[in-house]
Amino acid sequence: MTTAAKIDPIEPKFFKDLGAKGVKITYGPFAIPGSHDPETMGMVTNHMFNITMPCHDCLITGWSSDLQFVNGTSANANNNMWMHHTGLMNLNRTDLACEHWPERISVNGNERSPFDFTLKGTRKAGYFLRAGDEIHQTLDVMNSATTPQSVHLVVEWEFLPAVHPAFDIVVPVWLDVKGNCLNQSTGILPTDKVFTAKGPAAGWTSKVAGDLVLMVPHIHDGSTKQDVFLDGRLVCTNVPAYGETAEFVTHRAAGGGGHDHGGAEGGHVYHVSSVSQCEAVGKVVPGSRFTIQSAYDMVLHEGSLDHHGEPEPIMAIEFLYIARPQAEAMKDILAMGPGDLKDFTDQVRGLKTPKEP
């Protein structure tokens, strides 16, 4: 499916002196049925192939994503629209953590984490987008209202239109408590309230060298903190904030159910509104081993319910962004073939038995 997109120039924030540009790309619209729709229950997954990107043969230096109603106002939990998940993959490359899959570039949820590989213009690093690369975007939207609502996904991209020789090339790594190919059990039951989910002890071991410039987590409501270890040493703790603005606060309806993320009592429910990131974490060398653990407390912070009103499975993902020396990174990237998208999607949908990584 090709999705219509509208492109508007915006002012770049960083590296204007090096010719950086900004664009706002509006994807959609996406019509989401109401929560009483028997087929979808208001949860729709959109798979967008070969999405409109800001540039090609260029460096993507950062982006931020928002869900907006078609009139341009913000669509968020307070008006029953959830950017439940959005994920980017490069179909023309293979993944560093799960090598038969396409390269997973990022994952995000309603926390709407920004991505900035330049650390506010202090670090020359960007993601190389090659001419011909096809970027696949998954967008899960959840409508917890009983009436249908239509939204756009609005992404503000920042980029250098050509590959600047002074920039390192950022490569993404998906670290997950479930394992490198999502194939380990966390041992966490939906009824567990307070727990620490631990990823496999083997973790992910790097074959490349570079600087770990940025770490961006994705967790769900109930998270209290997520820790990442390098060779057994704690190098990053991500802490979520809840309900920082009214957009991220919902009200429990008496006897509410469905998507309302609440029980029978009245009151406010505070949802994850941002999660702290880790920057300029340090050097990565071949053999560097990363492991992850993620703490949840559903007593302190009410967990999310799925569209059947059941406790939603937790997630505990950390994206590692490693800035590699340009020549080495380019050589590896140009040698990569496409990944197996079907293998990835079949596993995410639970249609197949996982392969070992």
In the complex, minimum distance from the CB of residue 280 to Cu ion, in angstroms, rounded to a whole number = 26
Using CB under 5 A as the binding rule, whether residue 97 contacts Cu ion is answered as no
Contact 5, 53 (CB under 8 A): no
Quickly tell me which residue has 């090339």 as its tokens.
169
Q: Between residue 257 and residue 276, which ones bind Cu ion under the rule CB under 5 A?
A: none
Quickly tell me which residue has 């799960």 as its tokens.
98
Complex with Cu ion: residue 110 or 250, whichever CB lies closer: 110
User: Measured between alpha carbons, how far is 67 from 254 in angstroms, rounded to an integer?
Assistant: 28
Complex with Cu ion: residue 218 or 324, whichever CB lies closer: 218
Quickly tell me which residue has 């001419």 as its tokens.
131
Contact 68, 161 (CB under 8 A): no
Complex with Cu ion: residue 75 or 219, whichever CB lies closer: 219
Complex with Cu ion: residue 221 or 260, whichever CB lies closer: 221
In the complex, minimum distance from the CB of residue 337 to Cu ion, in angstroms, rounded to a whole number = 29
Complex with Cu ion: residue 35 or 304, whichever CB lies closer: 304
User: Measured between alpha carbons, how far is 242 from 221 in angstroms, rounded to an integer?
Assistant: 8
Quickly tell me which residue has 């996406």 as its tokens.
30
Binding pattern for the stretch 103-122 against Cu ion, x by CB under 5 A and - elsewhere: ------x-------------
User: Measured between alpha carbons, how far is 184 from 46 in angstroms, rounded to an integer?
Assistant: 26
In the complex, minimum distance from the CB of residue 125 to Cu ion, in angstroms, rounded to a whole number = 26
Please pick, from the candidates 298, 315, 316, 323, the single residue that binds Cu ion as defined by CB under 5 A.
Answer: 315
H or E stretch at 38: none
In the complex, minimum distance from the CB of residue 29 to Cu ion, in angstroms, rounded to a whole number = 23
What tokens were used for 156? Answer: 């503000």
Contact positions toward Cu ion, by CB under 5 A? 109, 315
